[in-house]
Structure 1
Amino acid sequence: MKRSYTLKSALLLLVATMLVVAGCSKKEETVPTAKDNETATASASRLDAIKERGKLVIATGDYYPFEYLDPETKRLVGYDIDLGQKIADKLGVQAEWKEMQFTALIPTLQNGQADMAIAAMYITDERKKAVDMSEIYMKTGMSLVKRDGDESINRLEDLKGKKVGVKAGATSETAAKELVEQGYDIKIVSYKDTTDYLLDLQMGRVDAAINDYLNQLGYNKQHAEAKLVIVGDPFTEAGLGLAVKQGDTELLKLANDVIKELEASGESKTMYAKWLK
C-alpha cells in the first residue's frame, strides 16, 4: 500500500507541474502588458474621438489673407481657413474655429482646448520644443519693400544710409539686425505694428521696409492705393506649418496627408491664386 500511494502521489505531482508550465507559457504568449493596452487604445481612439465629437477644434488668429473676418458675410475666410476645412472634411466632421491672439495659440494647444492651430505660423526650432508642427504647406521669407517708382532701391546693397521700417520684436526686426551684422549700413526704425511702418513707407517717412513675403502680398492686394512693391525674391527662407499638441501623432499624420494631397492635385496652387494673387 505504501508503494502504491507513493506512485500515485508522484503521478499527481507530475500532472500538476505540467499544467502549471502550460499555463505559464500560454500567459506569456497572449497577455499584453497594461502599458501596451494603453498605447494601443490611445492610438486607435484619437481620430475616432474627434469623429464621435463631430467637430475638429482649430485655433487661429487674424492674419490677412490667411484668416480674417469677411466684412460682408462676417465669417472667417482665408487660405488657412480653407486648409482647416479640408482637414475636417477628411475626418468627416465640422471645423470649429477659435479666434485668439497669436501668443495664445500654443498655450491653447498645450491645455487641450483645441486640436490644432493654423495661423500662418513659421516653423521654427523654438516652436518645435513646445508643439509638434506639420510639414511646410507654404514657403515664404523676409522681403524688401519699397514705394512703386523708387528706382534708387533695387537690391539690399541700395539700402546704404537709408531708414528701414520693421516690426519691433518680430522676424523683420531680427532680419534687419542680421543685415547690420553682415555690414549693411542701414538705420532700423522699429514700430509696434506692421501696418504702421508700411503706412510710413507710403508717406515717405522711411525709405524701405522689411516684411514677410506672403504678408506683403496680402497687404498689397488689400491696399493697392498704397502703391508698395516687393523688391525681388525673399532674402531669407521660411515655411508655414500648422501645429498640434506634442505627441498627437495620428492627427498630425492626417494633416500632413492632406497637405501632400493638395500639393499633388494642384489644389494648393488654386488656393494660393485665390487668396494671395
Structure 2
Amino acid sequence: MNIFVKKCLCAMTILFGVGMSMAAQADDSTIDKIKARGELIVATGNYRPFEYYDDNNQMVGYDIDIAKKIAEKLGVKLKIKDMQFTSLIPSVQSGHADIVIAAMYINDERKKVVDFSEPYLKTGMVLVVKKTNNAITRPEDLKGLTVGAKAGATSEQVARKLSETTPFTIKAYQDTSAQTLDLTSGRIDAGINDLLNQMELNKVFDNVKVVGQPFTEASLGIAIKKGDSRLVTLVNTVINEMRASGELDALYNKWIIGK
C-alpha cells in the first residue's frame, strides 16, 4: 500500500469518526435540550377525538394523554403547539417542536423526512356521504363529483390517487368539521376521512354516514426529527409501557368509544 493511499484511508477514518461523534452529540442533545428547558414541545392540530379544545379552552384528547405520558417520562412539563396539519412536519424538522403527535399516518413518503415511533393505533380511510345518499357506496362511484379531504393529510393523498383512475374534483379543507358541514349543506358530494375522526364527527353531524368498510389500512405514529434515535427509543418505551399496562386500551375506550 503506497503512502498516498494510506494517508487517504487515515483521513477517511478520522472524518468518519468525527461524523459519528457529531451525529451522536446531535442525537443526545435533543433530550438534553428538552430537559434543560424543562418542557417537551409537541406540535399538533385540532382533530377530534385525538386533540381538540374542551369547554375550558384546554387541549385534550387521545394524543394529548400520550404526550403527557412522554413528558412525564422525561420529567418535564408539556407545551402544546396547535398548528395547521401542513406545518407539523416542518416544525419538527426545524426544531421548533420536539415531536409531532396528531393522528398522523405512518407512510413511506413521510418516513423520508422524519422518523416515526412504533404504531400506537390502527385506523383507515372511509367514504362519508349524506344519510339520504344511496348512490355512493364505493370509491368508483365518485366519478365526476366533488369530494372533500383534509389539506396535506393522508385523506388528500388518497383522494388524489383515487382521482387518477376515477376522475373527480377535490376540495381541500384545513378542518374536517368544516368538510363535514359542507357535506351536510350539499357543497360537496362526499368526503374522504379517517374512520376514527369521522366516528367522532358523526356524534355531532347526525345526517351523514360512513359507507362500506375502510378502503385503506394505516397505523398512527409519533413523528420525530430524522436521526434522533435516542428520542425515538424513549417514545417507543412509553408506547410499549402504555400498551402493556392497558392504558392505550383505556384511552381508546375513553376518547373513541366514549365509555
TM-score bin (small chain): 0.7 to 0.9
1:235 deviates by 0.2
Identity within the alignment, %: 49
Taking the aligned partners of 1:168 and 1:91, their CA distance within structure 2 comes to: 33
Taking the aligned partners of 1:238 and 1:129, their CA distance within structure 2 comes to: 17
- 194, 205, 218: which one pairs with 1:238? 218
Q: Secondary structure at the match of 1:135?
A: coil
Is 212-221 or 247-256 further displaced after alignment? 212-221
Q: Secondary structure at the match of 1:86?
A: helix
1:108 deviates by 2.4
Taking the aligned partners of 2:23 and 2:172, their CA distance within structure 1 comes to: 49
Equivalent residue for 1:51? 35
Equivalent residue for 1:84? 67
Q: Is the 8 A contact 1:162 1:187 kept in 2?
A: yes
Q: Note if 1:61 corresponds to 2:76.
A: no
Instruction: Describe the shift of the 1:147–1:90 C-alpha distance in structure 2 as closer, same or farther (beyond 3 A).
Output: same
1:77 deviates by 0.8
1:255 deviates by 0.5
Higher relative contact order (CA 8 A, sep 6+): 2
Structure 2 counterpart of 1:130, one-letter code: V
Equivalent residue for 1:211? 193
Structure 2 counterpart of 1:127, one-letter code: R
- Post-superposition CA distance 1:126-150 (Å, at most 9, x none): 2222221111112222101122354
- Structure 1 unmatched ranges of 5 or more: 1-32
Is 47-56 or 37-46 further displaced after alignment? 37-46
Structure 2 counterpart of 1:216, one-letter code: Q
Q: How many residues align?
A: 239
From the CA coordinates, give the structure whose radius of gyration is larger.
Answer: 1
Q: CA RMSD in A?
A: 3.0
Q: Note if 1:99 corresponds to 2:120.
A: no
Structure 1 counterpart of 2:238, one-letter code: V
Equivalent residue for 1:22? none
- Name the TM-score, length of structure 1 as normaliser: 0.72
Instruction: Describe the shift of the 1:162–1:273 C-alpha distance in structure 2 as closer, same or farther (beyond 3 A).
Output: farther
- Structure 2 unmatched ranges of 5 or more: 1-16
Taking the aligned partners of 1:37 and 1:205, their CA distance within structure 2 comes to: 56
The ranges of structure 1 where at least 4 consecutive aligned residues each deviate by more than 6 angstroms after the TM superposition are: 33-45
Taking the aligned partners of 1:105 and 1:238, their CA distance within structure 2 comes to: 19
Taking the aligned partners of 1:204 and 1:42, their CA distance within structure 2 comes to: 51
Taking the aligned partners of 1:174 and 1:50, their CA distance within structure 2 comes to: 33
- 228, 236, 251: which one pairs with 2:208? 228
1:68 deviates by 1.7
- Post-superposition CA distance 1:130-171 (Å, at most 9, x none): 2211111122221011223544444446x2767352237554
Instruction: Describe the shift of the 1:46–1:205 C-alpha distance in structure 2 as closer, same or farther (beyond 3 A).
Output: closer
Q: Secondary structure at the match of 1:236?
A: coil
